[in-house]
Amino acid sequence: MTLKIAVAQIDIALGQPAINEKKIITYAEKASDLGVDILVYPEMWNTGYDLKNLATLADIRGEKSVSLLRSLAEKYHLNIVGGSVATSQNDDEFYNTMYVFNNQGKQISMYNKLHLFGLMNEEKYITAGKSMNCFTLSGIPSAAVICYDIRFPEWIRTMMSKEPQQILYVVAEWPVQRIQQWQLLLQARAIENQTFVVAANRVGRDDNNVFGGHSLVIDPLGNIIQQASDENEALLVAEINIADEDYIRGEIPVFRDRRPELYQ
């Protein structure tokens, strides 16, 4: 089975959800024109890391973002891994939340970022999630995580081995100075889980960081299928063949050969 996947590597205007929403729409239109099956957005695309102003900026219960993503999924018949957005659940509780929609406009997953990134002060403002993010999208069992989560292979393995998920989606705001680590971590997650990795990072800057782009689509052997530039906005498009993964898992059956009883 071949899937056409697109990653929206975009700049994000700090603290300006209305501007960012327009860009989200533009990239859905572009993906639709190219006949894409699955579109992936980056982390915190509504506000960027404007964490100090979440009380006024965060999307209340995620309602605006859900409505926008649902309408795009329906209108353009796109499966959408909706990056993440800043949401508020109560007046003073904020989350970094991902929503996933199928191409009928049905929400099939919601995930609150589990590992909060201290270097960007995330844990001072955001409440950590507690649940997994596994779903079937376009018929493919998949999992998705947010940015810093990729440094926790045990967390990703937990999700990937629940049933062997075949695609791992990663959405990020990853600064340029650690972009080599971004690439290596993603390749490692692909190899150890024998999975396709589809990773969306933003470009541009905010008051504290320059973001490194370099969005990637990686095969289950860790080979890079497609990569975007470090600096520019782009719609990165790649075709992946899920049967390749079945073949690799057949040759080196790491999921079968695990000894979890010895890993505690």
Ligand X SMILES: NC(=O)CCC(=O)C(=O)O
Q: Which residues are identified as catalytic?
A: 43, 113, 147
Nearer to ligand X, 162 or 178 (CB): 178
Kindly state whether residue 175 participates in binding ligand X, applying the rule CB under 6 A. yes
DSSP characters over 26-66: HHHHHHHHTT-SEEE--TTTTT-S-GGGHHHHSEETTHHHH
Q: Which two tokens stand for residue 228?
A: 């975007």
Does 206 sit near ligand X (CB under 6 A)?
A: no
Is the CB of residue 30 less than 8 Å from the CB of residue 237? no
Q: Establish if 147 lies at the interface with ligand X (CB under 6 A).
A: yes
Contacting range for ligand X; rule: CB under 6 A; set: 13-21, 23-31, 168-176, 189-197: 168-176
Taking the least distance from each CB to ligand X, the nearer of 76 and 95 is: 95
Q: Please check whether residue 31 is in contact with residue 235, taking contact to mean a CB–CB distance below 8 angstroms.
A: yes
Nearest to 8 by CA among 108, 100, 81: 81
Cβ pair 169, 144 in contact under 8 A:
yes
Tell me how far apart the alpha carbons of residues 91 and 9 are, in angstroms, rounded to a whole number.
Answer: 31
CB of 182 to ligand X, least distance (A): 7
Q: What contacts 100, CB < 8 A, 6 or more positions away?
A: 79, 80, 81, 82, 107, 108, 109, 110, 111, 133, 135, 137, 144
- Which of 174, 189, 190, 211 is close enough to bind ligand X by CB under 6 A? 174
Q: What is the largest CA-CA distance in the chain?
A: 53
**Is residue 124 part of the contact set for ligand X (CB under 6 A)?**
no
Structure token pair of residue 180: 């080599």
Residue 139: DSSP 8-state? T
The size of the interface with ligand X (CB under 6 A), counted in residues, is 10
* Among positions 50, 59, 173, 245, the unique one binding ligand X when judged by CB under 6 A: 173
Q: Which of 17, 24, 89 is nearest to 53 (CA)?
A: 17
Binding of ligand X by 178 (CB under 6 A): yes
Q: In angstroms, give the least distance from the CB of 71 to ligand X.
A: 27
CB of 147 to ligand X, least distance (A): 3
Q: How far is the CB of 244 from ligand X (least distance, A)?
A: 28
Shortest gap between Cβ of 181 and ligand X (angstroms)? 6
Stretch that binds ligand X, among 2-10, 158-166, 173-181, 217-225 (CB under 6 A): 173-181
Does residue 170 bind ligand X (CB under 6 A)?
A: no
Shortest distance (Å) from residue 120 CB to ligand X: 6
Residues 82-121 that bind ligand X (CB under 6 A): 117, 120
Site string for ligand X, 37-66 (x = CB under 6 A): ------x-----------------------
List of E strands, 154-256? 167-172, 196-201, 203-205, 210-212, 216-218, 224-227, 234-241
Residues in contact with ligand X by CB under 6 A are 43, 117, 120, 147-148, 151, 173-175, 178
